[in-house]
Amino acid sequence: MARRHAPRLRLLAAACAVLGGCVGPTRAPTSPPAGGVAITISPLALPEISRAVYTLTIVNAGGDTVVTRQLDSQVYGAPSGSLSYVAPCDADRNDNVVTVTVDALYSGPTGATLVPADAWVDPGSITRTVTCRADADVAVTFDITVMRAAQQGFFDIAVDLDDVFCSAKLDCDTAHAFPGFATDTTVVLALVCTAGPDTATTLYLDDLDVTCGAATASVDPAAGPGQLAVGDGISGAADIIDAAAVYRGQEQLSGAARYWNVAIALADGAAGCTLHTEGTVSPTPLAGYTTAADAVYPYIDWTVPLTDAGGVAVCGSHPLGGTGAAAGVSIGYTTAGPLTFDHEHPLAGPPPPAFAASLVAAWPGDFTPEDTVGASDGALQGTATFAPGRACGAFSFDGAGDVAIATPPPLGGTVAIEAWVRRADVAPTETIEVIAGRWGSVSTGTGSYVISLRQGPSGIYPELEISTTGSNYVIAADTAHVIPNATWAYVAGTFDGQAARLYVDGALVATTPLVGALASPASSPFTIGAVRDTTTRAWFRGLVSDVRVYSDALTDAEILANYQAGLALPAACPGVDPSAGLVAYWPADGDPLDAVGATDATPVGSVGYVSSPWCQAWDFPSSPVTYLTLGDAPAVSLTSEITVSAWVRFLGPGPATASNLYISLLSNWDEINTGGAGYSLALLPADATHYHPAFSVSSTGFDSHGAGTATDLVNGVWTHVVGVYDGAEVVLYVDGVRVGSSPFVASVYDPPSVTIEINAIARAGGTVHSMVGQIDEMRVFDLGLDAATVAALYTSELAGRPCP
């Protein structure tokens, strides 16, 4: 996520000596009466902003304009956007009103590129009232924080607030009832902010007021967490709000997003209703929950009509900055004075929810099958592996593997189980695909508890199976609740001794009565991705992550809290730095330069540049042979550990490449001498037009070992390819997934007379073989990256990046 600093404009007190001249009583009599305003605007904190234009206006008590002037930071200040200016004011007709407006922002090295007006939020006219003196300049303080639209955000539109990313929205859901209430309309308000890893952020929010005609009911967002009732966090007029729920906390993720979510069950028949509240965020706590008196500070205003005069819902999805029917959540500025908010959420690290004490097992799937809270470690079986997931990693299943847990989680007579799933976009081959649980036989229904996906008449839907002592079992399912392929969904099930309950994306979708205690047959092991039935395995196909088992049956509100807590994604795996060990990086943004070191490349032939998801990429045409050379390049002549990564868009072999010879993406490989080879991230031919990736290393004596895959690159599609040697094995990853490996323990040979090349490998006779296509974001590390770091690298680059 790109980080931007908000422009901060400061008109500060300044002594005469600092400003280089004050206007005193010796002013010419034709000027306004003696006195002045000393103005200083500090450098803008946005790195890309290099110029700002402001308008300054001073009006005396009689309404006469003393001065109005447009001030350009390139004329009165520095390229950074700062400026200093002394303006006259009227000491005989006090008080004077000083007004500043931000007219325009510019970027670029010369300040020539206008930042579009819709890319930042204009705070409007900012005024201060001052009493001018005839014998001195009077300092006027403006502290302006300008909110600016960001490239990426958590929900809908992100804005940048003094190095804090925020997003806000309000949604009305008329399709799903609030848990436990037959209401037609559920209103969900969300505020999410982050100041980055390990950085405190404080949220502020007023009571949520729902006004219907002359009556108002309010929700206290400091109540809870969890579901609220009338008289307990809900106050005011009756027959407006049936129930509410409040969830606030801090995502334990890289980026540390702080959130405040409030759900309201609007009473049926509540007519002519509008919701209103205001909130903001600060990187440091606000004294008395109040913005500074001399500051122009942004806040978020929620004013959303909910129902019409007949009680029919008129609200929908209202993102921050929405317009038309989606309007209602907007940005305001404290230009009329400071604001005091009702509630503060410091979020220094909230205590875990009370129900977390019943968590007995958790398998995040972050490139290990270990149980992170208990003693129920798993083991990969068959073809089960890991892949990049929602956040960090996930278990990856292709229909022939699972995770076996020899020691099932310890339970009594009740249970809750949850998981995030993303079924592969393939046709089902089995009626049931098991997500996770403890079940012995699909055919006889013997087991304990399991959540699965089942093929139904309308598509694939989730189900929960529960078995009690005495081999009684039931299924809780909603055949109409279809989960699309290739889409992440949250599936949970509970059993409290009275009923089995199934949840999808935090909402209760099915309840089946069953009285008794949960069964615990010795023949039913716990598995993820299948069951251990000898006749029907019910293999899952796709990704599963964050499997958790609780010894208590969680409530509706607790399930919803878990779902909402899982919505915000981390930037990478916890504790993983995908830039560690980076020794060379070629962004290919219009040049062949190394962005982190001195290993610049030299083009050979007609190497071009084309647009890519990462700004630009090297383009290698069909004719003539084109590549880049790095020379001897000591920084990447590695012999102990190495990782090479690149995004590749393969279009075919080059004109001089024989159909039976491979193409090297990055090569320090000696094909001519017999002393050894080196290393090479390459494409191997399946036939004249189909190639698949491989990574090879060799020690002295041409003892070569490689890792590859039989899956060809798809022509014209960007693919992430990574080769790793960590001193113990050679590993190949494609799109973040480990696809091949080979053991190897030796030093990698560094050929003394070979130039390191990109998109080429020199062969005997001087023939050079290359590909037609594009290469981008090529990196070399002096470490053998592990699976979690490769996944973090892949996911961090997947969304692309803007041009610098």
DSSP string, 713-761: PPTTSEEEEEEEE-SSEEEEEETTEEEEEEE--SPPP--TT--EEES-E
Statement: residue 225 has pLDDT above 80: no
Statement: residue 380 has pLDDT above 80: yes
Strand partners, 368: none
Question: 40 falls in which pLDDT band (50, 70, 90)?
Answer: very low
Question: 472 falls in which pLDDT band (50, 70, 90)?
Answer: confident
H/E element, 301: strand 298-305
Predicted local distance difference test score (pLDDT) of residue 513: 93
For the residues 403-431, what does the mean pLDDT come to?
90
Contact 792, 672 (CB under 8 A): no
Q: Which residue has the higher pLDDT, 127 or 462?
A: 462
Predicted local distance difference test score (pLDDT) of residue 182: 52
Q: Which two tokens stand for residue 731?
A: 């590993």
Question: 463 falls in which pLDDT band (50, 70, 90)?
Answer: very high
Which of 178-187, 385-394, 474-483, 591-600 is predicted with the least confidence, judged by mean pLDDT?
A: 178-187
Cβ density class 609-632: b for 16+ within 10 Å, e for less = beebebbbbbbbbeeebbbbbbeb
Q: Of 172-176, 571-575, 590-594, give the range with the top mean pLDDT.
A: 590-594
For the residues 780-790, what does the mean pLDDT come to?
90
Q: What is the full DSSP assignment across 308-344? A: -TTS-B---EEETT--GGG--EEEEE-TTS--B-SEE
Helix (H, G, I), strand (E, B) or coil at 119: helix
Question: 765 falls in which pLDDT band (50, 70, 90)?
Answer: very low
Statement: residue 2 has pLDDT above 50: no
Tens of pLDDT, residue by residue over 654-671, are 655 555 567 788 888 766
Statement: residue 153 has pLDDT above 70: no
Statement: residue 444 has pLDDT above 90: no
Q: Which two tokens stand for residue 673?
A: 């001498």
For the residues 194-200, what does the mean pLDDT come to?
57
Taking alpha carbons only, the member of 191, 189, 192, 188 closest to residue 178 is 188
Taking alpha carbons only, the member of 796, 791, 801, 773 closest to residue 717 is 773
Q: What is the full DSSP assignment across 360-383? A: EEEE--SSS---SSSS--EEEEET
Statement: residue 421 has pLDDT above 90: yes
Question: 227 falls in which pLDDT band (50, 70, 90)?
Answer: confident
Tens of pLDDT, residue by residue over 316-347, are 888 877 888 889 988 877 767 788 899 887 53
Predicted local distance difference test score (pLDDT) of residue 533: 64
For the residues 732-760, what does the mean pLDDT come to?
86
Predicted local distance difference test score (pLDDT) of residue 641: 92
Taking alpha carbons only, the member of 604, 580, 582, 601 closest to residue 592 is 601
Predicted local distance difference test score (pLDDT) of residue 80: 45
Statement: residue 524 has pLDDT above 80: no
Question: 768 falls in which pLDDT band (50, 70, 90)?
Answer: low
Predicted local distance difference test score (pLDDT) of residue 611: 86
Tens of pLDDT, residue by residue over 258-307, are 678 888 888 888 999 999 999 988 777 777 788 877 666 778 899 999 99
Contact 701, 676 (CB under 8 A): yes
For the residues 470-482, what does the mean pLDDT come to?
84
Predicted local distance difference test score (pLDDT) of residue 217: 95
Question: 84 falls in which pLDDT band (50, 70, 90)?
Answer: low
Predicted local distance difference test score (pLDDT) of residue 777: 94
Residues 6+ apart with CB under 8 A from 431: 454, 455
Q: Which residue has the higher pLDDT, 70 or 623?
A: 70
Phi/psi for 259 (5° steps) reads -130, 155
Tens of pLDDT, residue by residue over 632-641, are 788 898 889 9
Q: Tell me the pLDDT of the chain averaged across its residues.
A: 77
CA angle at 528 for the pair 523 and 529, rounded to the nearest 5°: 110
Predicted local distance difference test score (pLDDT) of residue 36: 56
Statement: residue 206 has pLDDT above 90: yes
Tens of pLDDT, residue by residue over 675-705, are 557 888 888 887 767 788 989 888 876 677 8
Instruction: Catalogue all structural domains in the chain, each as residue range(s) with its CATH number.
Output: 8-146 (2.60.40), 150-345 (no CATH), 354-565 (2.60.120.200), 582-798 (2.60.120.200)
Q: Which residue has the higher pLDDT, 249 or 449?
A: 449
Question: 41 falls in which pLDDT band (50, 70, 90)?
Answer: very low
Predicted local distance difference test score (pLDDT) of residue 17: 18
Taking the alpha carbons of 764, 765, 766, 771 in that order, is the dihedral positive or negative? negative
Predicted local distance difference test score (pLDDT) of residue 681: 87
Statement: residue 496 has pLDDT above 70: yes
For the residues 350-371, what does the mean pLDDT come to?
77
Which of 187-191, 197-201, 234-238 is predicted with the least confidence, judged by mean pLDDT?
A: 197-201
Predicted local distance difference test score (pLDDT) of residue 550: 95
Q: Of 9-18, 423-432, 507-516, give the range with the top mean pLDDT.
A: 507-516
Predicted local distance difference test score (pLDDT) of residue 726: 92
Q: Which residue has the higher pLDDT, 655 or 625?
A: 625
Tens of pLDDT, residue by residue over 538-569, are 899 999 999 999 999 999 988 988 887 776 55
Contact 136, 130 (CB under 8 A): no
Question: 499 falls in which pLDDT band (50, 70, 90)?
Answer: very high
* Ramachandran class of 335: left when φ > 0, alpha when ψ lies in -120 to 50, beta otherwise: alpha
Statement: residue 476 has pLDDT above 70: yes
Percent over 70 (pLDDT), the chain: 75
Q: Provide the terminal-to-terminal Cα distance of the chain, rounded to the nearest Å.
A: 14
For the residues 26-37, what does the mean pLDDT come to?
37
Statement: residue 349 has pLDDT above 50: no
State the Cα–Cα distance between residues 258 and 148, nearest whole angstrom. Answer: 20
Percent over 90 (pLDDT), the chain: 26
Cβ neighbours, 10 Å, residue 69: 12
Tens of pLDDT, residue by residue over 104-151, are 877 777 778 887 776 666 777 877 788 887 766 676 655 555 555 433
State the Cα–Cα distance between residues 636 and 586, nearest whole angstrom. Answer: 12
* pTM assigned to the model: 0.53
